[in-house]
Amino acid sequence: HVQLVESGGGSVQAGGSLRLSCTASGYTFSVDCMGWFRQAPGKEREGVARITTGGGSTWYADSVKGRFTISRDNAKNTVHLQMNNLKPDDTALYYCMARPGDCPGKVLAYNYWGQGTQVTVS
């Protein structure tokens, strides 16, 4: 059993920054990949960034490259998403997701979901 808890969302003006955090608890040995996904009103959930917990390999959506950075703190079973130069299009509910094995971009491949944290950019 793995639980994911997100934090760090909020409301900022365009150009501002936020730092999201996701902490995994429970049987974290089964977590090899953690990623951030987001869902805006009227849109499907999309991948934002992901990272392998072992090797630290990262992937980013084209829309956030150069602005967002995902990192990990394995000692705390935590991943962070540093979001800089935020844009109104970044407004969405951000979810932390995790899975064992590999680190794909498909949303449905993920076993564990967080509750989500709201990011609003105006």
Q: What is residue 30's predicted lDDT score, i.e. its pLDDT?
A: 85
* Separation CA 112–CA 122 (nearest Å): 30
Q: What is residue 78's predicted lDDT score, i.e. its pLDDT?
A: 95
In order along the chain (122 residues), what is the average pLDDT of each group of 10 residues?
95 98 91 96 95 94 98 92 98 96 91 96 97
Q: Is 110 exposed, middle or buried (0-12, 13-18, 19+ CB in 10 A)?
A: buried
